[in-house]
Structure 1
């Protein structure tokens, strides 16, 4: 498959351009040696330091808000494509939390983006989505049902529900299913020292592999999809960088760090009981990842992901570069 020839005036609008996924795509477009697209970075705060950094790098920075459909319509005007991602975990005021759940926020924002893209005649939208976990868990109560009895893993299930909003709007859409970030493994879910000073990885995956990816590779893969023109419109593309067990992750960390990392996973019920905000949801998520790992892995064609993104990183490659970010 040859890469589609693009006019240099064709622009990709990136929602959440100063965030994790959106920022990765903006950087991928700007670093693309083929210069296939220009990029319009959409942010609520165009005067902020992050937005100004993107402007200095060559992005067109435009103000818009996912809660304001009209602002999105204006921001999408004249672009070829748009990358749409919502942030279930965005900081919200008490009043905002009282007004609607995070899942309802995502559904409303996705609907706003879909209608705005339709009205602006955007020719290709990539919607960053996730699987619906409810078919796997069924009607059983072996994991708690959350968000007023609607969802098992709200930040997965609501995004999956929002897929239909793009279909109903008639927007030419690729549904990009992402997964767990490598970055989580040097952050809140990375190995920590036990009482004896030894590094221990407690990722609640049992013996099952987890599919994970570097955030930068999400952006580069999205750019690869845009670069193939209409080929992936109407299709779901599920991505990952590598599937590794907790023991394999710990072994890689040990090699790179030069000291032992032990894998001693929490079980799901223990994780749900920890009491921090979102503990039940994340416990459900890890149980879904572990129990459904065979299907989740089959759905991710890593040969296709490498074709779209030849720079796709293994965990070892990524961790070798980023291990100094681990708090240890």
Structure 2
């Protein structure tokens, strides 16, 4: 039986590379893999190519190049970047929705059967218009557009939560109180953000450890997930519990402090952080429901297990990552 070709748009990004890595480890060799990049000569593209993944060059704004890149693909994974440099230009009139529609139309014309999109439910719809979040709302519009074409056998949204990897970005630490890199005057590592809302059950996700496996699991049986949003979740914790997990495995004193009003979170004019700021307003208004529904990890856990087993793994390797394991790996050694 010939392998089904899966093409990844955004192959060199965190999500795309995680998806390719998981699919490539499938021991049944069920899938052939292709990655799309705007620059085949970049280090990340060269690395993927060296690993045996077919890399092709295409631009999301160039429909013809995308049709050629998608040609022969059974499935496609797509992540559009809300923070792409093109959107930083104040004179730019094109939107993420425009980009998404071009990609979807190209996939339709190329005859793709399964589309897995890194999408969201609409913050604007969930909050009755009170707290729109452009990135969430635009990605939701793209997902709806893909479903409305009725051209795919399966259209699925794989929706990532709060990245574990955000804690590795040192430039973000001062904005969020210093945690986990810059201690406060009393020696504690302080994580200072607005509250989440509801039960304070934040859906944390390890992109490197779990997201690719979750998407892999979807591709193993996409018809089951057609039209559904799959919650990309590794570990559900409050911010206070996340900080305590860090404290437990590193031995470093840490605490969570609440910013009383989400509008007061200072993002220093950084456009990319506007999404995070408004996300707090959205989750407070929605009662903590980041996905619009009750946050759960059971679906992600089963998809992770299915994918890990397809890669020949067993035991703990089939389980979702935990914050303790992440903090121990990334920070305990430096304690």
TM-score band by shorter chain is: 0.7 to 0.9
Structure 1 residue 325: Cα displacement: 10
Indicate if the aligned counterparts of 1:29 and 1:37 stay in contact, CA closer than 8 A: yes
Cα separation, 1, equivalents of 2:17 and 2:333: 19
Any idea what the Cα deviations from partners look like across 1:71-111, whole Å, max 9, x if unmatched? Answer: 111111001100011001122386x44122xxx43111111
RMSD over aligned CA atoms reads 2.4
Q: 1:214 aligns with which of 192, 206, 211?
A: 206
Residue correspondence of structure 1 range 1-328 to structure 2 within 5 A: 7-92=1-86, 96-100=89-93, 104-140=94-130, 152-172=132-152, 173-187=155-169, 188=172, 189=176, 190-191=179-180, 192-205=182-195, 208-216=200-208, 217-267=210-260, 268-272=262-266, 274-296=268-290, 298-310=293-305, 311=318, 312-323=320-331
SS in 1 for 2:245: helix
Counterpart-to-counterpart distance in 2, 1:171 and 1:106: 21
Most deviating of 161-170 and 198-207: 198-207
Give the unaligned 5+ runs of structure 2: 306-317
Question: Secondary structure of 1:309's partner?
Answer: helix
TM-score (norm 2): 0.84
Q: In 2, Cα distance between the equivalents of 1:299 and 1:309?
A: 20
String of CA shifts for 1:144-194, please: whole Å, max 9, x gaps.
xxxxxxxx2111111111122202322321122222111112322543321
In the alignment, the residues of structure 2 paired with residue 324 and residue 41 of structure 1 have an alpha-carbon distance, to the nearest angstrom, of: 35
8 Å CA contact 1:16–1:42 kept in 2: the answer is yes
Normalised by the length of structure 1, the TM-score is 0.85
What residue is the counterpart of 1:3 in the other structure?
Answer: none
Unaligned runs of 5+ residues in structure 1 are 1-6, 144-151
Q: Is the 8 A contact 1:209 1:293 kept in 2?
A: no
Return the alpha-carbon distance in structure 2 between the equivalents of residues 28 and 36 of structure 1. 12
| TM-fit CA distance, 1:309 | 0.5
Task: Give the direction of change, closer, same or farther, for the CA distance of 1:252–1:226 in structure 2 (3 Å limit).
Answer: same
- Is the CA contact 1:77–1:120 (under 8 Å) kept in the aligned structure 2? yes
Note the alpha carbon deviations across 1:260-302, whole angstroms, 9 max, x for none.
Answer: 1111122312205754435544222122234435544754442
Distance 1:118 1:87 in 2: 21
The 8 Å contact of residues 201 and 295 in structure 2, kept in 1 or not, is answered as no
**Matches of 2:294 and 2:73 in 1, distance apart?**
31
Of 43-52 and 259-268, the range deviating more from structure 2: 259-268
Contact 2:60 2:103 in 1 (8 A): yes
Q: For the structure 1 residues 273 and 105, does the alpha-carbon distance in structure 2 shift closer, same or farther, using more than 3 Å as the test?
A: closer
Q: Distance in 1 between matches of 2:216 and 2:10?
A: 16
Deviations 1:215-245 (A, max 9, x none): 1211111011101142222222222112211
Give the deviation of 1:121 after TM superposition.
0.8
Query: Residue 251 of structure 1 aligns to a residue in which SS?
Result: helix
- For residues 234 and 218 of structure 1, the distance between their equivalents in structure 2, rounded to whole angstroms, comes to 19
| Residue 325 to residue 117, structure 1, CA distance change in 2 (3 Å) | farther
Q: What is the CA-CA distance between 1:36 and the residue it aligns to? A: 2.0
Length, aligned pairs only = 307
